[in-house]
Structure 1
Amino acid sequence: MPLYLDHGLVNGEIVKLNEEKKVKYEEKRLPFPYEIKPVEPELNKKILGDFSGERTGFVQVGPKNYFFPSGYEKEAENFYNFELRPDDVFVATFPRSGTTWTQDMVWLLCNNLDYDKAAKIPLTERFPFLEFSCFVHKDTKAEFLQENEADPEKYKIVQEIDYPGWKTLAKTDGQRFIKTHLPFSLLPPNLTRNGCKVIYVARNPKDVAVSFYHLNRTMRTQGYTGDFEKYWDYFQNNLQPWTPYWEHIKEGWNMRHEKNVLFIFYENMNKNLRRHVEKVANFLGKSYTSEELDQLENHLKFENFRNNKSVNYDIMESIGVYRKVNQAGYVRSGKNGGWRDYFSQEMEKRADQWIEENLRDTDLRFPL
């Protein structure tokens, strides 16, 4: 049964529905097709002990057991029934796979390379994160509110951090740019048939895990307190949000031939940025001069990008939701192969075996 029976999206607006419209709205909405079950109590207790941002617990979704914090359950059907527009552009990734980098590229390509506007508006506003509200537990939010109560402006920002992304996007005028880490199976089933463009970026799991480890330490909505080896165990055993990693990646890979889907590898983007700028521009139907593309490439070069305040979660840092650890910013090292600094020989051997087992039934291969 739909979760929001009294309100619906009418011409892009969230409105109160009368009884006649309510019936039609209920008929239009699809029931969420997957079972959502809580993680086993003892395991849940263990994970909560290592991740201080979530306070209630975790759930697993569907036959693939996609892993989410408790807040996902009340929003699952809204994500599945998110009302698409033909000119929507999605950047869909497993976390820490070049999402932010790709978002800024996409937004600039679609907005006449307006660097001034991009600098003034944080990427989080230009490119709303569809499911972020699920990760803001009410008790964690209460702590953020208390910490910021002396500053009315910051207090207001905290008040709004758990406002659902799908509601924000429903009120957005003009073309919409949407960030998500949800796999295709949990997004609207007509996503690729509605005219929307989806850019899916994949990155090898060892580099993803290292980058995700750092994010989980710095984002207090996650609040990971353990070391990397323990984190890798959670990651490999599909006990981290948005895992199973392999199911997520394979869903993206299997959509790569859809005309409205562009599948790219982070490793290739890192090795030949210009080629991928041109590829994304072509996919989006955008054309720029060689000089304009030179400027965009320079803007996106990592040594410049990591100093771009618009993309570095400065607002989240100002209200204490995001805290740097060892001065590592939200946009961190960006290099291929950084995992080698974190994996012991035993961990590397175990990880390589896990990768080999999961690639056995697919022609997916990560660039060297």
Structure 2
Amino acid sequence: MLTRLIRRGSAYEVNFNRLSWSSLKNRFPMTNVPIRSLQLSSSAQMGANKAAGAAFGKRTMPKNAVVSTFINTTILILMGSVGSLLYHKYQQKQKRLAKIDRVLPVSPYFKAPLKLVMYRNTVVTEEMVLDGTAERVEAFETRPTDIFLTSFPKSGTTWLQEVVFRLCNQNQDSTEILEDRVPYLEFPYPGIKDISQREGQRLIKSHLPLHLLPKGVWDGQGKVIYIYRNPKDVAVSYFHFAQLLSYLNFQGPFSRFVQLFVKDEIPYAPYFPHVNEYIQYSRDRPEQILCISYEDMKENPEREVRKIAKFLKADATDEMIESICEKTTFDAMKVNPASNYQHWKTFGLVLPNREPFMRKGIVGDHANYFKDPFTQNEMDKFIEIGVKNTGLNFRYSISNDN
């Protein structure tokens, strides 16, 4: 109870000996209201305010006046609590804003303005920083049995997830969608809280660069498998993906998307540092980090699946590896509801009359897109500089793909 009311007849009586506007103002701060500042008297008359003499006189406060006082005081308390919370949120937001290196220009080619920022040398959405997702990812508690499946977007992540899931589950078929089997660490669904509460071995997907993964990874907790792909095919696949998603709906030509790609103005850019960081650390930590290329997987899937199985110390027979390779071909996964992302249509995440999530899955499709000399030149210069700075090499074609 905010006050202790003593009823006499039809009136409630309040002692004003200890209640005045100055005392209320001094003793009712917004975040801490001392309830004892209101005391009731058993007297049938209100005592004169000693500090103000007979200013108040003796009078009886009607019941509705006490109720009004109670309501007003409660409102003060609530306003104080809300004000304190809002101020805390404001301070928190300011601290997070200070972590943003710079705000990227908004591209007019996205249907809804995509607010991107450079955060710790990586392009992410502004929301990811301001809502605390980046902080929660960093603080995520890893376990020794965790397996992180990572990549720059559109580099073969879905394929890698299905392969590793089968290796860790004795090649069992599953009707559960891939997003539930291998949750996306920095994505709202199913969310970091859900992932944290999962028991047993956890397979976790992420497109974040290595330096933005949870601290536990840097402390040696869990394993990381990174798949990378040549930048030209990545740009083509990313372009179609940006057109497909309803909340992006990229409406510009391919040449414009390439400009964003080489200027590091798309999510998870810059591309070369992203790939290089994982590859360099995989050389220093071969027991914790494995890097494989999309082109090598396409050329000889059985060889690469064996490499992954060895890295994970998975109990996989020759027959199992052969079966996994058969069940994770592009054609097999494209018709598998558990891995083809067709359920996104139900939730309105993809636009109708666009190419599907699983489009071609080949090496060298870039040859059908980089026909404009200016666009080709932009990408070639981008690759030349990136290779010079990192020493990376990529394969742009393989003999057995079409």
Give the shorter-chain TM-score range: 0.7 to 0.9
Q: In the alignment, does 2:132 pair up with 1:68?
A: no
CA contact (8 A) 1:54 1:69 kept: no
Please give the alpha-carbon distance, in whole angstroms, between the structure 2 residues aligned to 1:126 and 1:324: 26
Tell me the TM-score normalised to structure 1 length: 0.76
Please give the alpha-carbon distance, in whole angstroms, between the structure 1 residues aligned to 2:197 and 2:373: 51
Q: Greater Rg, structure 1 or structure 2? A: 2
Structure 1 gap ranges (5+) = 1-30, 134-160
Question: Residue 110 and residue 324 in structure 1: after superposition, are their counterparts in 2 closer, same or farther (change >3 A)?
Answer: farther
Deviation at 1:195, TM superposition (A): 3.5
Please give the alpha-carbon distance, in whole angstroms, between the structure 1 residues aligned to 2:209 and 2:261: 16
SS of the counterpart of 2:145?
coil
Deviation at 1:362, TM superposition (A): 2.5
Please give the alpha-carbon distance, in whole angstroms, between the structure 1 residues aligned to 2:320 and 2:211: 37
Deviation at 1:303, TM superposition (A): 1.8
Deviation at 1:52, TM superposition (A): 2.6
Alignment of 1:24-35 (within 5 A): 35=99
Equivalence for 1:194: 220
- Cα distance per residue 1:117-139 (max 9 Å; x no partner): x2x10000000011122xxxxxx
Structure having greater relative contact order (Cα 8 Å, sep ≥ 6): 1
Q: In the alignment, does 2:150 pair up with 1:92?
A: yes
Q: In the alignment, does 2:339 pair up with 1:339?
A: no
Equivalence for 1:107: 165
Question: Residue 287 and residue 53 in structure 1: after superposition, are their counterparts in 2 closer, same or farther (change >3 A)?
Answer: farther
Please give the alpha-carbon distance, in whole angstroms, between the structure 1 residues aligned to 2:364 and 2:276: 21
Equivalence for 2:295: 267
CA contact (8 A) 2:134 2:186 kept: no
What is the number of equivalent residue pairs in this alignment?
297
Q: Identity of counterpart residues, as a percentage?
A: 32
Task: Report the more deviating stretch, 266-275 or 345-354.
Answer: 345-354
CA contact (8 A) 2:152 2:268 kept: yes
Q: In the alignment, does 2:244 pair up with 1:218?
A: yes
Deviation at 1:255, TM superposition (A): 1.3
Please give the alpha-carbon distance, in whole angstroms, between the structure 2 residues aligned to 1:61 and 1:195: 24
Structure 2 gap ranges (5+) = 1-94, 397-402
CA contact (8 A) 1:128 1:178 kept: yes
Equivalence for 2:195: 169
Please give the alpha-carbon distance, in whole angstroms, between the structure 2 residues aligned to 1:83 and 1:54: 33
CA contact (8 A) 1:94 1:242 kept: yes
Equivalence for 2:185: 130
Please give the alpha-carbon distance, in whole angstroms, between the structure 1 residues aligned to 2:352 and 2:297: 26
Please give the alpha-carbon distance, in whole angstroms, between the structure 1 residues aligned to 2:345 and 2:264: 28
Q: In the alignment, does 2:342 pair up with 1:314?
A: yes
Structure 1 stretches of 4+ with a deviation exceeding 6 A read none
Deviation at 1:334, TM superposition (A): 0.7
SS of the counterpart of 2:215?
coil
Deviation at 1:51, TM superposition (A): 1.8
Deviation at 1:349, TM superposition (A): 2.5
- Cα distance per residue 1:239-281 (max 9 Å; x no partner): 0000011111111111122121001111111111110111111
Equivalence for 2:351: 323
Question: Residue 280 and residue 35 in structure 1: after superposition, are their counterparts in 2 closer, same or farther (change >3 A)?
Answer: same
Equivalence for 2:260: 234
